Amino acid sequence: MANVVVVGAQWGDEGKGKIVDWLSERAEVVVRFQGGHNAGHTLVIDGVTYKCSALPSGIVRKGKLSVIGNGVVLDPWALLAEMDKLAELGVEISPDRLQIAENTVLILPVHQNLDLAREKALGSAKIGTTGRGIGPAYEDKVGRRAIRAGDLAEIDVLPERVEKLLLHHNALLRGFGMPELDRDEVVAEIAAVAPKILPYVGAVWRTLDGVRKSGKRILYEGAQGMLLDIDHGTYPFVTSSNTVAGQAAVGSGQGPGAIDYVLGIAKAYTTRVGSGPFPTELFDDVGRGLGERGREFGTVTGRPRRCGWFDAVLTRQSAKVNGLNGVALTKLDVLDGVKELKVCVGYRIDGETIDYFPASSTKQAKVEPIYETMEGWTESTFGARSWAELPATAVKYVRRIEELIEAPVALLSTSPERMDTILVHDPFAD
């Protein structure tokens, strides 16, 4: 049976939560393989809205195993708070339904302190981080001084490990003119939360290996989007992890053969949160209209998203880097009533035409979009569940996007509701 990876094909916020939830009906296990709790997924099920940040979206479905892989950085306190909120909505979470990789790096309060201090020091040149400590936690991971989930079972050696961690953090805090942190206080915070997290901690790689051997389907869920990838995104305005499909194997302790199908999620237009280049951004009434109709506010931060036309150049690049087998196109209904649509089909830099987004931040700032204009539609596509319910011009728009990004549309989403989805090709069928 096919195992499917779901990744964002733009700058995140593409609607991965709904698609993952829709696909999780066909899978037994849902895995988060990278990122932190700065990436929120909103699910609307039978009129009830669920918001997941640290937890995999599959947690809202009964009988499914949700896994937090080693590629994630995890804030234990944020996780527990999220679990409590979902419990109020009737979602039961137990060690039988949730497993955390023992080699998952923990986000501690020290990481949040450093995150906020840096952004404040950068001023107008800030990256646009959410201040949740994700970046500093990944730094400690590669710096080999991080505290990991499995370490919570070894409280007796925790003081020594925290001492090494603070040797780095306190030096930085001194440089920012901030008070240093006390080792014993940090250890006490970690020790207090340990008993609540440890029941969920285990050898995830072993669990997933057993799941694969038994022939069960696995759904790998990414956070953010390809354009925020630390290597392939609009650096330095990116997140601190690899968000591309290849990370699904690395971030869950599986080999590349574990991946059978890669599904990229893309909006029928483009949005971005925070700082950084955005070639097709709109500053007029059309852009504001997209934001209002699409309710473009961050699930976690509440920050308004920047809106613009669909960028086929960036999405095609994402398709190539991720190795997309298909695309789930979301929020087509937001374009209802827009008389004239534009799609970016190329870029111009200093008079030269190119068909890709350059890695140089200097060149990125100079990019001018080349547009192709298409006819819009006045009819409603909201809630459509078949091609026959779509206006001919909407179908034409979707088909043109397929041609431009060189990847087929496998799913088409027409509202936040789970069932308002047009299935063209089932990723699990491969």
Active site residues per annotation = 13, 41
Please give the radius of gyration of the chain, using alpha carbons only, rounded to the nearest integer.
22
Q: Six-digit token pair at 186?
A: 């940090």
Q: Six-digit token pair at 34?
A: 């990278």
Rounded distance, CA 237 to CA 229, Å? 9
Buried b (16+ CB within 10 A) or exposed e, 235-273: eebbbbbbbbbbbbbbbbbbeeebbbbbbbbbbbbbbbb
Rounded distance, CA 224 to CA 165, Å? 27
Helix, strand, or coil here: 11?
coil
Cis peptide before 416 (omega within 30 of 0): no
Query: DSSP readout, 291-338?
Result: HHHTT-B-TTT-PBPEEE-EEHHHHHHHHHHHT-SEEEEE-GGGGTT-
CB-neighbour burial class of residue 183 (10 A; exposed 0-12, middle 13-18, buried 19+): middle
Rounded distance, CA 111 to CA 173, Å? 11
Helix, strand, or coil here: 414?
coil
